């Protein structure tokens, strides 16, 4: 789930801004901060780790953040940060120009490029979702062309990415640690697709668009496997596509939507059978099987033995 890493409300009023400034100064990509709200400053940062990348939700008052050449020399993790503005406005100044971002704009920044960002949340706190990822995961020659330039999170692949990030943050409590790297890989693929699409003056090939949507749909399914009411209609509605379109995405891989859902549930149930503190019927319910008999039949059809036999097999030492 999203873990808190900074909460100004937990600090004495007179210490809040100094603590915020120090926290920003000691991160892996340090920035210098200033604000007219000093010293009574309000800020909250939470983070979700997904393998090599992290999703960060930030709420903080109007201020200025500077990533200077001196701070870059001091510490440069060689990473990219993709930010989605949720509330307020931001203005970035760098060697590439000056840019302004509003709600549901996306902006790509590099830890290796100096820049200054002015954020303003008006009467409320400025709000954002960010994706921190190693530069090696993106095509650097292409990504660097887009640093600072506003990208839309309201249409096309940008909307897919924005929706995926907001859903990750909102439903992070349902994610298991083992699923983190896979969810992170989906986010990275979406960022790469956005970069490629933005730099391509032509429309992206249909296969590329289909792959991005399929990745997002599968990630949604994996986050909701425990919901026994998960069905094609729910999945299609969540992605604003027709049932026919959804089924077509999966037909290309030779599996129906619910066959893919069932396979994912069974794989996780088989893994959980090694935990002997959980009754078999509880494992079935955990992974969305409303009836034990349905789970047993599906498990036997997939693996050639019952769940109980599978559990006993894990007890047998290998020779």
Of 178, 197, 218, which residue is a domain's last? 218
Provide the pLDDT for residue 319. 39
Residue 38: band (very low, low, confident or very high) from pLDDT cuts 50, 70, 90: low
Instruction: Provide mean pLDDT across the span 163-177.
Output: 85
- My answer on whether 119 and 150 are in the same domain is yes
Same domain, 28 and 92: yes
Q: Residues 182, 109: one domain?
A: yes
Kindly state the average pLDDT of the residues 134-162.
92
Indicate the residue among 167, 200, 218 that finishes a domain.
218
Cβ neighbours of residue 48 under 8 Å, at least 6 residues apart? 1, 2, 3, 54, 55, 56, 168, 169, 172, 175
Mean pLDDT computed over 294-302:
93
Q: What is the CATH number of the domain that holds 277?
A: 1.10.10.60
Band (209; pLDDT cuts 50, 70, 90):
low
Q: What's the confidence (pLDDT) of residue 182?
A: 87
Same domain, 55 and 171: yes
- Under the banding of pLDDT at 50, 70 and 90, the label for residue 55 is very high
Run of H or E residues at 131? strand 126-134
| Local structure of residue 147 (DSSP, 8 states) | B
pLDDT tens-digit readout, 210-234: 777 888 888 889 888 999 999 999 9
Give the tens place of pLDDT for each residue, 233-288.
Answer: 999 888 888 888 888 888 866 789 999 999 999 998 988 888 777 899 999 999 99
Query: Please, is 57 exposed, middle or buried when counting C-beta atoms within 10 Å of its C-beta (0-12, 13-18, 19+)?
Result: buried
For the segment 4-25, the average pLDDT, to the nearest whole number, is 92
Instruction: Tell me: do 118 and 212 sit in the same domain.
Output: yes
Residues 249 and 112 in one domain: no
In the chain, how many domains are there? 2
Distances (CA, A) of 242 to 143, 212, 319: 33, 16, 52
Q: Does residue 200 carry a pLDDT above 80?
A: no
DSSP, residue by residue, 7-27: EGGGS-GGGHHHHHHHHHHTS
Same structural domain for residues 94 and 178? yes
Q: Same domain for 170 and 256?
A: no
Last residue of a domain, one of 185, 203, 218: 218
pLDDT confidence of 208, banded at 50, 70, 90? low
Q: Are residues 269 and 179 in the same domain?
A: no
CA 164 to chain centre: 6
Strands (E) in 111-222, as ranges, are 115-120, 126-134, 151-152
Q: Is residue 207 located within the same domain as residue 228?
A: no
Output the domain CATH number for residue 205: 2.60.120.10
Query: Domain containing 89: what range?
Result: 3-218
Same domain, 209 and 279: no
pLDDT tens digits for 94-126?
887 899 999 999 999 999 999 999 999 888 899
How many whole angstroms separate alpha carbon 175 and alpha carbon 61?
Answer: 30
What pTM does this model have? 0.68
Together in a domain, 82 and 42: yes
Q: Count CB-CB contacts under 10 A for residue 32.
A: 15
């Amino acid at each position: 789930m999203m873990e808190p890493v900074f909460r100004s409300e937990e600090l004495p009023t007179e210490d809040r801004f100094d603590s915020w400034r120090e926290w920003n100064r000691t991160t892996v990509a340090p920035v210098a901060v200033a604000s007219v709200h000093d010293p009574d400053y309000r800020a909250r940062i939470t983070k979700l780790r997904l393998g090599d990348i992290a999703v960060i939700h930030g709420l903080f008052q109007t201020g200025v953040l500077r990533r200077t050449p001196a701070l870059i020399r001091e510490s440069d993790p060689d990473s990219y940060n993709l930010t989605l503005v949720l509330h307020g406005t931001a203005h970035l100044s760098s060697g590439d120009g000056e840019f302004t971002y509003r709600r549901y704009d996306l902006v790509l920044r590099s830890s290796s490029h100096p820049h200054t960002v002015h954020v303003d949340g008006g009467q409320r706190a400025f709000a954002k979702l960010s994706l921190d990822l190693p530069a090696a995961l993106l095509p650097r020659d292409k990504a660097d062309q887009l640093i600072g330039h506003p990208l839309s999170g309201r249409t096309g692949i940008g909307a897919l990415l924005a929706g995926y990030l907001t859903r990750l943050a909102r439903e992070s409590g349902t994610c298991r640690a083992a699923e983190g790297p896979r969810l992170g890989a989906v986010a990275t693929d979406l960022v790469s697709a956005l970069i490629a699409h933005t730099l391509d003056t032509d429309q992206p090939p249909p296969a590329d668009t289909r792959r991005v949507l399929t990745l997002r749909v599968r990630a949604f399914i994996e986050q909701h496997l425990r919901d026994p009411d998960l069905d094609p209609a729910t999945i299609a509605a969540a992605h604003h596509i027709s049932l026919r379109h959804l089924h077509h995405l999966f037909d290309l891989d030779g599996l129906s939507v619910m066959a893919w859902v069932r396979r994912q549930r069974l794989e996780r149930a088989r893994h959980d059978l090694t935990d002997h503190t959980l009754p078999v019927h509880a494992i079935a319910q955990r992974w969305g099987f409303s009836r034990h008999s349905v789970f047993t039949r599906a498990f036997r059809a997939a693996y050639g033995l019952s769940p109980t036999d599978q559990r006993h097999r894990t007890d047998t030492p290998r020779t």
